[in-house]
Amino acid sequence: MAKNLLQNVDMTYPTWEKIKQELDVRDNTPPSEKLGTLAFCPPTQNSVWSTNIPNYPKPLVGIDVPVLLKPNNWNGETILILGESPLRNDKNIIKGQNVIFGTPYAVHQDINSPKQCIVYKLIFDGLLRKGYSVYLTDIIKVWWKKKNLVPQRNDKVILRDELNQIPIHHIVSWGKRADAALKDMKINPTVSLLHPGQLNWNNWKLKIFRKAVYNNNLNYAKNIYFNPNGDDKPTTPEIVASEALTDIFNAIP
């Protein structure tokens, strides 16, 4: 189990009304009623928000509502983290309801729910502890199975609207799609990171060893991965989160 995260981190949905119009979402339920107003909380009966929206004629549609996380010790600056797209699992299908709303990386639930989101939450926790607000959104706003996950014009229009609504001081892109979309929009991210998802951890490990070699500091990788039994220690959420936070803080002016 991973460590505890900050408590009482305010979670708001400042861009949802505009995004709801752009996506033609006809459920008028405020996200705060279903997903809460505090980040990193234990799962509740409202951890899933599902509804039926006939204008999305797919059996399973995923939409993550962008959120703004704000710590008690806010330093006045906001970091936008741009991910790729929401994902859903066929096990999430609910009879008679085709759209499942959530938050990016399930930040409305605790650190261990779901397990694959631990690494992301550790990164957000590190940023919040430094006093930064964190705005989380994806370049592709709507997901369904077999959808061509290439950002469309409407996705970029929505992102531009978000940037106009939220005072953003630093932008972090996660993954190639997010980074390419920003550059196509003539927006230079503060830092372009490898995607922190577990499927990409081998690339994070390679990055760590490259850094050790190029900086002539083999102890950097040895301290992280050395195992006296002979095999490397496994890559963990804590290792990837620490490396990602180092890259972000090194890039912030």
Q: Model confidence over 166-199: pLDDT tens digits? A: 999 999 999 899 999 999 999 999 999 999 999 9
DSSP string, the chain: -PPPPPSS-EEE-TTHHHHHHHHT------HHHHH-SBSSPPP-TTS-EEE--TTS-SS-EEEEPPEEEE-TT--S-EEEEEE------GGG-BTTB-EEEE-GGGTTS-TTSSGGGHHHHHHHHHHHHTT-EEEEEESS-EEETT---S--HHHHHHHHHHHHHS--SEEEEESHHHHHHHHHTT---SEEE---SGGGHHHHHHHHHHHHHHTT-HHHHHHHH--TTSSPPPP-HHHHHHHHHHHHHHH--
| Residue 2 banded pLDDT, cuts 50, 70, 90 | low
pLDDT of residue 63: 94
Q: What average pLDDT score do residues 73-94 get?
A: 90
Does residue 90 carry a pLDDT above 90?
no
**What's the pLDDT at 46?**
58
pLDDT at 111 exceeding the cut of 60? yes
Q: pLDDT tier at 104 (50, 70, 90 boundaries)?
A: very high
Distance CA 131, CA 250 (A): 16
Mean pLDDT of the chain: 92
Contact 196, 204 (CB under 8 A): yes
Cα separation, 106 vs 114, in Å, equals 7
* pLDDT average, residue stretch 34-48: 79
Looking at per-residue pLDDT, the higher value among 53 and 93 belongs to 53
Whether pLDDT at 48 is above 60: yes
Confidence at residue 65, expressed as pLDDT on a 0 to 100 scale = 97
Q: Tens digits of per-residue pLDDT, 201-247?
A: 999 999 999 999 998 998 999 999 988 887 889 999 999 999 999 99
Residue bearing tokens 């803080």:
249
Q: Would you say residue 43 has pLDDT above 70?
A: no
pLDDT > 70 fraction of the chain, expressed in percent and rounded: 97
pLDDT of residue 67: 98
Whether residue 1 is predicted with pLDDT greater than 70 in this model: the reply is no
pLDDT tens digit string along 133-157?
999 999 999 999 889 889 999 999 9
